[in-house]
Amino acid sequence: MQSITYDYLVIGAGAAGLQLTLAMLEDTYFHHKKIAIIDKSDKDQNDKTWCYWEVGAGSYDEIIDHSWDKGLFITNEQQIDLKLCPYKYKKLSSLAFYQYAHEQIRKSDQSAG
């Protein structure tokens, strides 16, 4: 059996581990480094939903499930329209993120997932 040596090991392929790996793949410092990711799960199901505020375009806009740029505050006495600009509230399913991250990692010759 042939052994493979890696320079970095990312333990956990959830949001943090995958975002770290994607950031490493974009950083020129890591371009000649081998990165391995280990996780007990295949991450092939939607197990979470992430929502967050962001100004302008973001790294994951192509896989965002939904985003809002306005809201409505309702009380017993009134309704107030809220304009969230310059922010957007974005909703992202974990499965969409896992699939996106795994595809980006597959395109790289630095990683073994």
Angle between helices 94-107 and 15-26 (to 10 degrees): 30
At 98-111, the pLDDT tens digits run 999 999 999 987 65
Rounded alpha-carbon distances, angstroms, from residue 55 to 52, 63, 70, 97: 10, 17, 13, 19
Average pLDDT over residues 80-105: 95
> Cα–chain-centroid distance for residue 48?
12
In the chain, the domains with their CATH numbers are 8-112 (3.50.50.60)
107, 109, 105: which is closest to 20 by C-alpha?
105
pTM for the predicted model, two decimal places:
0.83
Q: Are 67 and 60 in contact (CB under 8 A)?
A: no
